[in-house]
Chain A
Amino acid sequence: MNVEAVRAIYTFEMARWGRTLMQSILSPVLSTSLYFIVFGAAIGSRITQIDGISYGAFIVPGLIMLMLLTESTSNASFGIYFPRFAGTIYELLSAPISPLEIVLGYVGAAATKSVILGLIILATASLFVPIRIAHPVWMLGFLVLTAVTFSLFGFIIGVWADGFEKLQVIPMLVLTPLTFLGGTFYSIKMLPPFWQTVTLFNPIVYLINGFRWSFYEVSDVNIAVALGMTLGFLAVCLLAVWWIFKTGYRIKA
């Protein structure tokens, strides 16, 4: 195990984040605050409680998930796409480093940033609404698991993308709609039965409900299924990354 290399990549990526701290932290915090003002205060005051939880508090886990998914994906995808774009990937390929170590460095750094960001948003949210966390360990567990999974997902996109537009396409066209339709701002029980069934095919529903359960012990889906789905997606991403390095897809001629 080339520990020095993992450390080098990890600290290098964290330093990159540190340089752009304003846009890295401020913009997610700002947009989350806007959601709270619009949905929590303005609209939420006219919505009755959901499962006995005030609307403002209900949307907190979903909002954190929304940020976690988009930030993990974009961070990790950019982290590996940029060396490919700038040509500096030659160094990574010529270094005595295994695929596992490359992934540990890049995905580890991206996931770390996301977890920190998730906690900052949680702290920000607690300024707006009273928050109760019933299962802090599970909460952290879901947070880390989702951050890692979607950082892996981002890594895959970063390898697949061959232009800056493509880096944006998946988060914009797939992730954001799925998150919005995955019960970020509502309980899927509020939907007509047909759409409830359709929604169950959206994997993000399980992530959000699992996370929300760790806060308020309420969930639209079985919590074991939620955990299973999250782990399943993690496995799919791991498999994809393994395949990328096995075949050298888009990184090695």
Chain B
Amino acid sequence: MNPIISVKDVAKTYASGHVALKTVNLDIREREIFALLGPNGAGKTTLISIICGIVNPTSGTITVDGHDVARDYRACRSMIGLVPQELSTEMFETVWATVSFSRGLFGKKKNPAFIEKVLRDLSLWDKKDSRIMTLSGGMKRRVLIAKALAHEPRILFLDEPTAGVDVELRKDMWDIVRELRAGGVTVILTTHYIEEAEEMADRVGVITKGELILVQEKTELMHKLGKKQLTLELQQPLAAIPPALVAHKLELAPGGGALVFTYDTHADRTGITALLNDMREAGIGFKDLATSQSSLEDIFVDLVRHSK
């Protein structure tokens, strides 16, 4: 399947000399939810700003559904909706006016019924005549989403959609994104919340210091880099790891009350049996055990650390 967005060798150096993006290549598949994950200042916003036409790339090309974003900007941009990170709104306008304005700006004929549907879907209908300045932060975020959806885009960019949003609203936001995807919209979101990528994305791209260091199916990524940890609650606290056990990749939890064993789920031998055998021979008893899988967060921290 052809990618709906294709980013080829895109780099950006700002006039200040700041290198925001080193050569980036990325293909986005139609109807996927793609999470661009990275710390602040990694280049996430620069990358989507370039795709959306807000920032000029220093070099490289981008096509959206086969159209070059620079030469064929009308065709590209009418397919794309963008929800910016900042809550930039026309604060003196009403919700209805600003969302209708967005539709017009993208060249679509007036369609009050559609705007009504968008506002109802985003629980904004009873606020339609309110001035934006009177709305809460979460509501403003919804207004920005409504504006981005007003022209029925096929691709939606969400730049940090849940930054500064409470848990309840974050869940709502996730539901909205899933519904959009179900309706055939391709969603690209940037986030520095791992749980968001983990919860939502089909694929994850990790970006740091202007470089896309990894793009992978989320499940594959978790699978590939996923480490498991076995925590053994000891009957008697230990002062140090006994000599009989030093051969194992063990760590003593603070306080000495537990041993933490890290193992790779994909290795032929996990080493658990050997460890338990050695423990029994050394006479170290445990009262409880638990295993946990590393989250995307651990994977991410690992990756970012390695790229330094």
Q: Residues of A at under 8 Å CB distance from B?
A: 2-5, 7-9, 11-12, 15-16, 19, 83, 86-88, 90-98, 248, 252-253
Contacts and interface: CB of A to CB of B under 8 A. Distances in A.
Contacts of B108: 4
A88 B106 contact: no
Contacts of A15: 97
Identify whether the interface residues of A are mostly helix, strand, loop, or mixed. Answer: helix
Contacts of B146: none
B106 A96 contact: yes
A95 B106 contact: yes
Interface in B43-66: 49, 52-56
A97 B105 contact: yes
Nearest to A86: B88
A94 B104 contact: no
Interface stretch (B78-86, B223-231, B247-255, B258-266): B78-86
A228 B88 CA distance: 43
B71 to A, nearest CB: 13
Interface in B86-103: 86, 88-92, 97, 100-103
B88 A87 contact: yes
Interface residues of B, number: 35
Nearest to B55: A253
- Looking at B49, B56, B106, B109, which has the most chain A CB atoms within 10 Å of its CB? B106
B121 to A, nearest CB: 20
B107 A96 contact: yes
A9 B105 contact: yes
B54 A90 contact: yes
B101 A8 contact: yes
5 contacts: A2-B74, A4-B109, A7-B104, A86-B90, A96-B75
A92 B105 contact: yes
B246 interface: no
Given A5-B106, A5-B107, A96-B106, A19 B92 contact: yes
A90 B103 CA distance: 15
A144 B191 CA distance: 50
A242 B249 CA distance: 66
B15 interface: yes
A252 B147 contact: no
Contacts of B55: 252-253
Nearest to A7: B104
Contacts of A11: 104
B147 A87 contact: no
B114 interface: no
Contacts of A9: 104-105
Contacts of A5: 104-107
Nearest to B106: A95
Interface of B: 14-15, 49, 52-56, 73-78, 80, 82, 84, 86, 88-92, 97, 100-109, 147
Contacts of A87: 84, 86, 88
A9 B103 CA distance: 11
A20 B89 CA distance: 19
B53 A86 contact: no
Contacts of B92: 16, 19
A91 B78 CA distance: 12
B104 to A, nearest CB: 3
B166 to A, nearest CB: 23
Contacts of A93: 52-54
A7 B103 CA distance: 11
Nearest to B86: A87
Nearest to B144: A91
A204 to B, nearest CB: 33
A4 to B, nearest CB: 5
A86 B73 CA distance: 24
Contacts of A4: 104-109
Contacts of A91: 82, 102, 105, 147
Contacts of B53: 93-94
B168 to A, nearest CB: 26
Nearest to A5: B105
Contacts of A88: 88-90
A93 to B, nearest CB: 5
A94 B54 CA distance: 6
B107 A94 contact: no
Given A96-B107, A252-B56, 20 more contacts: A2-B107, A4-B106, A5-B104, A5-B106, A7-B104, A8-B105, A9-B104, A12-B97, A12-B101, A19-B92, A87-B86, A87-B88, A88-B90, A90-B88, A93-B52, A94-B54, A94-B77, A96-B76, A252-B54, A253-B56
B56 A248 contact: yes
A3 B106 CA distance: 10
Contacts of A98: 74
A15 B75 CA distance: 29
A83 B54 CA distance: 14
A252 B57 CA distance: 11
A88 B215 CA distance: 31
A139 B90 CA distance: 37
B52 A94 contact: yes
A97 B109 CA distance: 15
